[in-house]
Structure 1
Amino acid sequence: MADSVISMEKVKAFWNSQIYDEDKWALNAKLLRAAGLFAGSIILMRSYGDLMAI
């Protein structure tokens, strides 16, 4: 198998550094919450946007 530029060990190390470091996890949790709120608002407006029209 050909050597890949990004190995699974590097991906696992990056994942663990983002999850288990409290400072990085706090930022990532804020980003996940913001992305979820954004996606939820899009779904809400697509479903019920016609009811909100004046």
Structure 2
Amino acid sequence: MAKSSISLEKVKEFWNSQTQNEEKWAMNMKLLRAAGLFAGSIFLMRNFGDLMAV
């Protein structure tokens, strides 16, 4: 079996470093909100854009 270059422990360590640190968590939440707003606006315009036309 091939040796994995990224171990599960490294992934857990990275996840904990991003979620346990308050400054990093705040930045990640801002990024998640922006991505969610962007995805939501794309979904809205693709499904209901013809209704918004003037």
Settle same-fold status: TM greater than 0.5: yes
| 1:45 equivalent in alignment to 2:45 | yes
* Alignment-derived partner of residue 22 in structure 2: 22
Q: CA RMSD in A?
A: 0.9
**% identical equivalent positions:** 74
* Alignment-derived partner of residue 4 in structure 2: 4
For the residues of structure 2 that align with 1:37 and 1:3, how far apart are their CA atoms?
39
Cα distance, 1:4 vs. partner? 1.3
TM-score, length-normalised on structure 1?
A: 0.92
For the residues of structure 2 that align with 1:49 and 1:2, how far apart are their CA atoms?
49
Code of the aligned partner of 2:32: L
Aligned length: 54
The 3-state SS of whatever aligns with 1:5 is: coil
Unaligned segments of structure 2, at least 5 residues: none
1:1-53 alpha-carbon deviations (Å, 9 max, x no partner): 43211100000000000011000000000000000000000111011100111
Code of the aligned partner of 1:53: A
